[in-house]
Amino acid sequence: KVLLASICVAYLAVKWTSPWFDAESLKGARVLVTGASTGIGEQMAYHYARFGAQIVITARREKVLQQVVEKCLSLGAQKALYIAADMSSESEPAQVVDFALEKLGGLDYLVLNHIGPSPFSMWTGDVDHTRWLMNVNFFSYIQMAWRGLAALEQSRGSLVIVSSLLGKMASPFVAPYTSTKFALNGFFGSLQHELAMNKSNVSLSICTLGLIDTDSAMEKVKGVISVPAYPASDAALNIIITGATRQLDLFYPWFTYVVAACKDMFPSVTNFIIQNSFTYSP
For the annotated catalytic residues, the residue numbers are 177
Question: Of 37 and 192, which has the nearer Cβ to ligand NDP?
Answer: 37
Question: Of 41 and 243, which has the nearer Cβ to ligand NDP?
Answer: 41
134: closest CA among 118, 157, 155, 158? Answer: 118
Interface residues with ligand NDP (CB under 6 A) are: 35-41, 59-61, 64, 86-88, 113-116, 136, 162, 164, 209, 211-212, 214, 216-217
The CA-to-CA distance between both ends of the chain, in Å, stands at 35
Q: In whole angstroms, how close is the CB of 209 to ligand NDP at the nearest point?
A: 4
Sequence-ordered alpha helix ranges (H) in the chain? 2-16, 39-50, 62-75, 92-104, 127-134, 140-155, 175-197, 215-221, 232-244, 255-262, 267-275
Q: Are 204 and 156 in contact (CB under 8 A)?
A: no
User: What does the buried/exposed string (b/e) look like for 1-34 if buried means 16 or more CB atoms within 10 Å of the residue's CB?
Assistant: eeeeeebeeebeeeeeeeeeeeeeebeebbbbbb
One-letter identity of residue 77: A
Q: In whole angstroms, how close is the CB of 149 to ligand NDP at the nearest point?
A: 20
Q: In whole angstroms, how close is the CB of 254 to ligand NDP at the nearest point?
A: 14
User: What does the buried/exposed string (b/e) look like for 199-211 if buried means 16 or more CB atoms within 10 Å of the residue's CB?
Assistant: ebebbbbbbbbbb
Q: In whole angstroms, how close is the CB of 246 to ligand NDP at the nearest point?
A: 20
Residue 19 contacts by C-beta under 8 Å, 6 or more apart in sequence? 245, 246, 247
Q: Which position's Cβ is nearest ligand NDP?
A: 39
Question: Of 74 and 216, which has the nearer Cβ to ligand NDP?
Answer: 216
Q: In whole angstroms, how close is the CB of 52 to ligand NDP at the nearest point?
A: 23
